Amino acid sequence: MKLELLIVKDAGLDALIDFFSNVFLFQKDNNYYPYPLEQVRHIGYQLCYAVKFLHQNQLTHTDLKPENILFVDSDYDIFYSNKKKRDIRRVKRTDVKLIDFGSATFDHEHHSTIVSTRHYRAPEVILEVGWSQPCDVWSIGCIMFELYLGVTLFQTHDNREHLAMMERILGPISYRMARKTKTKYFYHGRLEWDEKSSAGRYVRENCKPLKRYQMSEDDEHSELFDLITRMLEYEPAQRISVADALHHPFFQKLPENLRLADRERSHSLSR
């Protein structure tokens, strides 16, 4: 089995997406029904493997999101869900391609202040304290949560509200980062946020501690949430790397025929 990374020119991106279905559109057309755990595992594994290739070459993708993960073959089976009382699609193959390297940045290149699509943006980007490869890992954590639940982890378009959601879901933001940022969201290291406001109520009613989103107490579900938790560490230096993530117990249960050997690093670049 071989993983392919696609680098495409902007002009060809829309045509490529029209030809392949991405994991977001498939889920949207499936009424946001969650992917089965084994499919989350395979897609997440391939994504980590592809991003490891970038990171080993001093590149940060900076725009990882479900729309940029395409199915090689989006053919599907249909089954009836008694829970949802409707037909549900299940993709037959979960081989994927990672696309859209238009914002990818080498370590030595200028780093834009703001990168990543809002919902997948790491705290160090929002706080403008400098970013590198770990911001990709944060995005992967958000993506895996979304594939598993069918909902976006951080559904917001406002920086302060985004930070409040992080604190509601993950606990207080790192004091070091809060003190380092030159943004105006913190006072004496604490987020300035009115929990009694309409926005405060929205966050309180729509967000809960990460572990409470877990749909089962089975070991495999717990392993997924352990991995996501490690990917969503506030401090970039403490966040798990994609190389280490590939050795996490959650991915160790991936069948051998779906694994990618190191010698099979992707070299297929489509221009």
pLDDT value of residue 84: 82
Helix (H) or strand (E) segment spanning residue 53: helix 37-56
Euclidean distance between CA atoms 57 and 24, whole angstroms: 27
Q: What is the mean pLDDT of the chain?
A: 91
Q: For residue range 97-146, what is the model confidence (pLDDT) as tens digits?
A: 999 999 999 999 999 999 999 999 999 999 999 999 999 999 999 999 99
pLDDT value of residue 13: 52
CB contact at 8 A, 269 and 255: no
Q: What is the mean pLDDT of residues 199-223?
A: 97
Euclidean distance between CA atoms 30 and 196, whole angstroms: 36
- What's the whole-model pTM score? 0.90
**For the chain, what percent of residues have pLDDT higher than 90?**
85
CB contact at 8 A, 166 and 141: no
Triad 120, 44, 212: Cα angle to 5°: 65
Q: For residue range 146-182, what is the model confidence (pLDDT) as tens digits?
A: 999 999 999 999 999 999 999 999 999 999 999 999 9
pLDDT value of residue 138: 98
Q: What is the mean pLDDT of residues 39-67?
A: 98
Which CA distances in Å does 251 have to 191, 242, 269? Answer: 35, 12, 26
Q: Which residues contact 223 (CB under 8 A, 6 or more apart)?
A: 248, 249, 250, 253
Alpha helices in 127-218 (DSSP H): 134-149, 159-170, 175-180, 198-206
pLDDT value of residue 156: 95
Highest mean pLDDT among 11-25, 226-240, 254-268: 226-240
CB contact at 8 A, 152 and 206: no
E-only strand ranges, the chain: 59-60, 69-71, 76-81, 86-91, 96-98, 105-106, 186-187, 190-191
> Which residues are catalytically annotated?
63
- With b for 16 or more beta-carbon neighbours within 10 A and e for fewer, the 177-216 pattern comes to bbeebeeebbeeeeeebeeeeebeeebeeebeebeebeee
Considering just the CA atoms, what is the radius of gyration of the chain in Å? 19
Euclidean distance between CA atoms 71 and 265, whole angstroms: 19
Which CA distances in Å does 166 have to 113, 126, 129? Answer: 20, 12, 17
pLDDT value of residue 152: 97
Triad 124, 136, 172: Cα angle to 5°: 40
**Tokens 């670049």 correspond to what residue?**
269
Please, which pLDDT band fits residue 18 given cuts at 50, 70 and 90? low
pLDDT value of residue 14: 56
The pair of three-digit structure tokens given for residue 230, joined into one six-digit string: 């490690």
Euclidean distance between CA atoms 128 and 186, whole angstroms: 13
